[in-house]
Chain A
Amino acid sequence: MTIFAPSQENTQNGFIMSNIIDLKKGLNIPVSGVAAPKTRKVAVPGIVAVKPTDFRGLKPRLLVKEGDKVLAGSPVLADKESPDILFTSPVSGTVTEVVRGEKRKLLEVRIKADSEQKYLDFGIEDARNLDAGQIKSLLMKSGLWPAIIQRPYGIIANPDIRPKAIFVSAFSTAPLAADTEYALRDDFADIQTAINALGKLTDGRVHVSLNAANANGTPFHKLENVILHTFYGKHPAGNTGVQIHHISPIMKGETVWTVSPMMLAAIGRLLNTGRYDMSRLVAVTGPKAIEPAYVKAVCGLSMKDIAEFYDNSASDIRFISGDVLTGTNVGADGFLGFFDNQITLIKEGREHELLGWAKPFRTKQFSTSRTYFSWLTPKKTYEMDTNLHGGPRAFVMSDVYSKVLPMDIYPVHLIKACLAGDIDKMEQFGIYEVLEEDLALCEYVCPSKIEIQSILSDGIALMMKEMA
Chain B
Amino acid sequence: MRKFIDKIKPAFEKGGKFSCLHSTFDAFESFLYVPDTVTVKGSHVRDCVDLKRIMIIMVLALVPAMLFGIWNTGYQHSIAFGLDDWGFWNIVGYGLVKVIPLYLVSYIVGLAIEFISAQIRGHEVNEGYLVSGMIIPLIVPADVPLWMLALAVAFAVILGKEVFGGTGMNIWNPALLARVFLFFSYPSMMSGDTIWTPGVTRYLAEGKAYASGDGLVDAFSGATPLAHPSMDGLQTAGTSLWDMILGVIPGCVGETSVIAILIGAVILLWTGVASWKIMFSSILGGLAIGYVGYAAGVTDLPGYYQIVMGGFLFGTVFMATDPVTSAQTETGKWIYGFLVGALAVTVRLFNPGYPEGMMLAILLMNTFAPLIDHYVISASISRRAKKIKTA
Residues of A within 8 A of B (CB): 29, 31, 248-249, 251, 318, 320, 324-327, 329, 344, 346, 348-358, 362, 365-372, 384-399, 402, 408, 410, 412-413, 428-430, 436, 440, 443-449, 451-454
What 0/1 readout, one digit per residue, does chain B (280-313) give for beta carbons within 8 Å of chain A? 0000000000000000000000000000000000
Q: Which of B164-196 contact A (CB under 8 A)?
A: 165-169
Residues of B within 8 A of A (CB): 1-2, 26, 30, 32-39, 41-54, 56-57, 124, 126, 128, 165-169, 270-273, 275, 323-324, 326, 328-330, 377, 380-381, 383-384, 387-389, 391
Would A357 and B53 be within 8 Å (CB), given that A350-B36, A396-B167, A412-B328 are in contact? Answer: yes
Q: Provide the residues of chain A in CB contact with B324, threshold 8 Å.
A: 396
> In the assembled complex, how far is the CB of residue A438 from the closest CB belonging to chain B, in whole angstroms?
12
Q: Provide the residues of chain A in CB contact with B388, threshold 8 Å.
A: 249, 251
Q: When the two chains form their complex, are residues B377 and A410 in contact, meaning their CB atoms are under 8 A apart?
A: yes
Q: When the two chains form their complex, are residues B2 and A352 in contact, meaning their CB atoms are under 8 A apart?
A: yes
Q: When the two chains form their complex, are residues A447 and B33 in contact, meaning their CB atoms are under 8 A apart?
A: no
Q: When the two chains form their complex, are residues B49 and A447 in contact, meaning their CB atoms are under 8 A apart?
A: yes
CA gap between A339 and B8 in the complex, in Å:
46
Q: When the two chains form their complex, are residues B32 and A394 in contact, meaning their CB atoms are under 8 A apart?
A: no
Q: When the two chains form their complex, are residues A366 and B42 in contact, meaning their CB atoms are under 8 A apart?
A: no
Would A444 and B126 be within 8 Å (CB), given that A352-B2, A410-B329 are in contact? Answer: no
Q: Provide the residues of chain B in CB contact with A249, threshold 8 Å.
A: 384, 387-388, 391
Q: When the two chains form their complex, are residues A397 and B323 in contact, meaning their CB atoms are under 8 A apart?
A: yes
CA gap between A357 and B52 in the complex, in Å:
6
Would A369 and B44 be within 8 Å (CB), given that A388-B37, A448-B168 are in contact? Answer: no
Q: When the two chains form their complex, are residues A368 and B51 in contact, meaning their CB atoms are under 8 A apart?
A: no
Q: When the two chains form their complex, are residues A369 and B42 in contact, meaning their CB atoms are under 8 A apart?
A: no
Tell me the dominant secondary structure on chain A's binding face: loop
- Subset of 8 A-B contacts with CB under 8 Å: A320-B44, A356-B33, A386-B39, A388-B39, A391-B50, A395-B168, A412-B328, A447-B50
Interface contacts beyond A390-B49, A440-B43: sample of 8 additional A-B pairs, CB < 8 Å, sorted by A: A369-B53, A370-B272, A390-B50, A398-B326, A402-B330, A443-B46, A445-B47, A449-B50
B1, B43, B165 — which one has the most chain A CB atoms within 10 A of its CB?
B43
Q: Provide the residues of chain B in CB contact with A413, threshold 8 Å.
A: 328, 377
CA gap between A56 and B384 in the complex, in Å:
27
Q: When the two chains form their complex, are residues A394 and B377 in contact, meaning their CB atoms are under 8 A apart?
A: no
Q: Provide the residues of chain B in CB contact with A399, threshold 8 Å.
A: 275, 323, 330
Q: Provide the residues of chain B in CB contact with A444, threshold 8 Å.
A: 43, 45-47
Query: Which 9 A-B residue pairings sit nearest by Cβ, starting from the closest?
Result: A390-B50, A394-B168, A356-B34, A453-B42, A352-B33, A365-B48, A369-B49, A353-B34, A398-B328
CA gap between A399 and B32 in the complex, in Å:
28
B52, B53, B387 — which one has the most chain A CB atoms within 10 A of its CB?
B53
Q: When the two chains form their complex, are residues A389 and B49 in contact, meaning their CB atoms are under 8 A apart?
A: yes
> In the assembled complex, how far is the CB of residue B331 from the closest CB belonging to chain A, in whole angstroms?
11
Would A394 and B45 be within 8 Å (CB), given that A248-B391, A356-B34, A410-B377 are in contact? Answer: no
Q: When the two chains form their complex, are residues A350 and B47 in contact, meaning their CB atoms are under 8 A apart?
A: no
Chain B: CB-nearest residue to A248:
B391
> In the assembled complex, how far is the CB of residue B283 from the closest CB belonging to chain A, in whole angstroms?
19
Would A352 and B34 be within 8 Å (CB), given that A440-B42, A447-B54 are in contact? Answer: yes
> In the assembled complex, how far is the CB of residue A139 from the closest CB belonging to chain B, in whole angstroms?
29
Q: Provide the residues of chain A in CB contact with B384, threshold 8 Å.
A: 249, 408, 430
Q: Provide the residues of chain B in CB contact with A351, threshold 8 Å.
A: 34, 36
Q: When the two chains form their complex, are residues B42 and A454 in contact, meaning their CB atoms are under 8 A apart?
A: yes
A354, A396, A445 — which one has the most chain B CB atoms within 10 A of its CB?
A396
Q: Provide the residues of chain B in CB contact with A367, threshold 8 Å.
A: 47-49
Would A352 and B38 be within 8 Å (CB), given that A248-B391, A447-B47, A447-B50 are in contact? Answer: no
CA gap between A368 and B165 in the complex, in Å:
28
Would A389 and B47 be within 8 Å (CB), given that A369-B54, A451-B41 are in contact? Answer: yes
CA gap between A351 and B2 in the complex, in Å:
11
Chain A: CB-nearest residue to B127:
A393
Q: When the two chains form their complex, are residues A389 and B46 in contact, meaning their CB atoms are under 8 A apart?
A: yes
> In the assembled complex, how far is the CB of residue A28 from the closest CB belonging to chain B, in whole angstroms?
13
Q: Provide the residues of chain B in CB contact with A371, threshold 8 Å.
A: 49, 53-54, 57, 271-273
Q: When the two chains form their complex, are residues B38 and A394 in contact, meaning their CB atoms are under 8 A apart?
A: no
Q: Provide the residues of chain B in CB contact with A369, threshold 8 Å.
A: 47, 49, 53-54, 271-272
Q: Provide the residues of chain A in CB contact with B33, threshold 8 Å.
A: 352-356
B128, B275, B388 — which one has the most chain A CB atoms within 10 A of its CB?
B388
Chain B: CB-nearest residue to A344:
B44
CA gap between A429 and B389 in the complex, in Å:
16
Q: Provide the residues of chain B in CB contact with A325, threshold 8 Å.
A: 43-45
Chain A: CB-nearest residue to B6:
A352
Q: Provide the residues of chain B in CB contact with A326, threshold 8 Å.
A: 43
Would A387 and B38 be within 8 Å (CB), given that A251-B388, A357-B53, A369-B272 are in contact? Answer: yes
| Partner of A447 from B26, B53, B329 at Cβ < 8 Å | B53
CA gap between A369 and B50 in the complex, in Å:
10
CA gap between A443 and B43 in the complex, in Å:
7
CA gap between A444 and B43 in the complex, in Å:
6
CA gap between A350 and B39 in the complex, in Å:
10
CA gap between A365 and B46 in the complex, in Å:
10
> In the assembled complex, how far is the CB of residue A111 from the closest CB belonging to chain B, in whole angstroms?
28
Q: When the two chains form their complex, are residues A393 and B48 in contact, meaning their CB atoms are under 8 A apart?
A: no
A366, A394, A410, A448 — which one has the most chain B CB atoms within 10 A of its CB?
A394
Chain B: CB-nearest residue to A432:
B388
Q: When the two chains form their complex, are residues B44 and A329 in contact, meaning their CB atoms are under 8 A apart?
A: yes
A29, A354, A387, A443 — which one has the most chain B CB atoms within 10 A of its CB?
A387
Q: Provide the residues of chain B in CB contact with A320, threshold 8 Å.
A: 44
Q: When the two chains form their complex, are residues A324 and B34 in contact, meaning their CB atoms are under 8 A apart?
A: no
Chain A: CB-nearest residue to B38:
A386
Q: When the two chains form their complex, are residues B168 and A370 in contact, meaning their CB atoms are under 8 A apart?
A: no
Q: Provide the residues of chain A in CB contact with B49, threshold 8 Å.
A: 367-369, 371-372, 389-390, 445, 447
Q: When the two chains form their complex, are residues B46 and A388 in contact, meaning their CB atoms are under 8 A apart?
A: yes
Q: When the two chains form their complex, are residues A29 and B45 in contact, meaning their CB atoms are under 8 A apart?
A: yes
> In the assembled complex, how far is the CB of residue B375 from the closest CB belonging to chain A, in whole angstroms?
13
CA gap between A349 and B53 in the complex, in Å:
19
Q: Provide the residues of chain A in CB contact with B39, threshold 8 Å.
A: 386-388
Q: Provide the residues of chain B in CB contact with A356, threshold 8 Å.
A: 33-34, 48
Chain B: CB-nearest residue to A362:
B48
Q: Provide the residues of chain B in CB contact with A429, threshold 8 Å.
A: 381
> In the assembled complex, how far is the CB of residue B341 from the closest CB belonging to chain A, in whole angstroms?
20
Q: Provide the residues of chain A in CB contact with B41, threshold 8 Å.
A: 451, 453-454
Q: Provide the residues of chain B in CB contact with A29, threshold 8 Å.
A: 45
Q: Provide the residues of chain B in CB contact with A398, threshold 8 Å.
A: 323, 326, 328-329
Q: Provide the residues of chain A in CB contact with B391, threshold 8 Å.
A: 248-249
Would A349 and B43 be within 8 Å (CB), given that A362-B48, A368-B49, A391-B30 are in contact? Answer: no
CA gap between A396 and B270 in the complex, in Å:
19
CA gap between A394 and B328 in the complex, in Å:
14
Q: When the two chains form their complex, are residues A327 and B34 in contact, meaning their CB atoms are under 8 A apart?
A: no
Q: Provide the residues of chain B in CB contact with A388, threshold 8 Å.
A: 35, 37-39, 46
Q: Provide the residues of chain B in CB contact with A387, threshold 8 Å.
A: 34, 36-39, 46
Chain A: CB-nearest residue to B124:
A391
Chain B: CB-nearest residue to A384:
B45
Q: Provide the residues of chain A in CB contact with B35, threshold 8 Å.
A: 352, 388, 390-391
